[in-house]
Amino acid sequence: MAASTKRKTANDTTEKAPKKVKAPAKKKVWEPFDPSLPNNKTFPETFTIPTKPEDSITIASYNVASLRACITKGFNRYVDAEDADIICLQETKLNEPLSTAVNDKVYKYRYWAFDEKKGYAGVAVFSKYKPSSVVRGIPKFEETTRGRVITLHFDDNFVLIACYVPNAGDKLVRLPQRQVFNDHMEKYIRSLQKEGKSVIWTGDLNVAHTANDLAKPETNERSAGFTIEERTDFSKVLDKSTDGDDLPGLIDTWRHFNPDQKGHYTYFSYRFNAREKLMGWRLDYFTVTPDLMDKVVSSEIRHEAWGASDHVPLTLTLKDIKL
């Protein structure tokens, strides 16, 4: 007798194995590149500043994001501790000099530049030494740069360009104006090089030059400060000139000493708990012509000095300079 076979019918109630539900992907948790760095959210009461070598000078640069506000949060504690020979400030947001900004017996030579718009931009330089000449704005482009650039000439030592580069703005609405500024600044620096000047260009240059200069490059390619246009313009200054004069590019001094370092930033947004997470951008620089590099002792970021501004100060120390 033939073996019987079981046939499935419409009423077959045999259970099927349940489908496996795919677990949602775990959100990647941000981890700082260098967790050893300070992530304080208030300005320190005291600072540990390395002793400056003899016969050297220190220049400090600091975007104060409103000088009046920065002073109320401890600006002068940093100034006294650093005891820099020259201090360059950006984004003072002033339209007239502030006589109480620093001790005028220490910093006898104080120079201010203001934007026409009230409470906007503004730069200042305070010096223990008198420069041979001072220029406000970029020559032949003063109208829109007077509140963003101060140049101090120190005879045969160097020319110091203290600068606050314009931000390209939300949705890059000011990127075209930013590129015009970049073009004029490059030409200005090259003109000084053609005169045989040693140049220091410092300040909030408002660009993260490489992917190592910000926490999240992959999501910021069309964000102000990291567009290919801004980075390319900055590279033009750091590369050899292409106009036939064969002028050497300036050197990003901090990156020169820290070629592969990630996670060391000069700006942390007040939003998104960025400071505590050490999630920032390196937007502030000391760049110099190559002839000055043998005089550069150090180029430092004052990581702990956050809280009086959304930026931290940085310093450049030079030896064998007589001002």
Mean pLDDT, the chain, rounded, equals 93
Cα separation of 68 and 123, whole Å?
13
Q: Which of 301, 218, 216, 211 is nearest to 253 (CA)?
A: 301
Whether residue 14 is predicted with pLDDT greater than 90 in this model: the reply is no
Q: Can you give the pLDDT at residue 176? A: 97
Six token digits for residue 26: 């775990």
CA dihedral 238, 212, 226, 300 (to 10 degrees): -60
Tell me the percentage of the chain whose pLDDT exceeds 90.
87
Please give the backbone phi and psi of residue 251, each rounded to the nearest 5 degrees, phi first: -115, 130
Q: Can you give the pLDDT at residue 4? A: 46
Q: Can you give the pLDDT at residue 16? A: 62
| Banded model confidence at residue 43, pLDDT cuts 50, 70, 90 | very high
Cα separation of 140 and 122, whole Å?
19
Q: Can you give the pLDDT at residue 243? A: 84
Six token digits for residue 23: 């677990």
Q: What is the pLDDT of residues 261-303, one digit of tens each?
A: 999 999 999 999 999 999 999 999 999 999 999 999 999 999 9
Catalytic residue among 62, 78, 111, 164: 164
Q: What is the pLDDT of residues 232-258, one digit of tens each?
A: 999 999 999 988 889 999 999 999 999
Cα separation of 222 and 272, whole Å?
19
Residue pair 309/41 in contact (Cβ under 8 Å)? The answer is no
Q: Amino acid identity of 148? A: R
Q: Which of 95, 38, 101 is nearest to 64 (CA)?
A: 101
To the query of whether residue 164 is one of the catalytic residues in this protein, the response is yes
pTM of the complete model beyond 0.85: yes
Catalytic residue among 115, 204, 252, 284: 204
Q: What is the pLDDT of residues 143-162, one digit of tens each?
A: 889 999 999 999 999 999 99
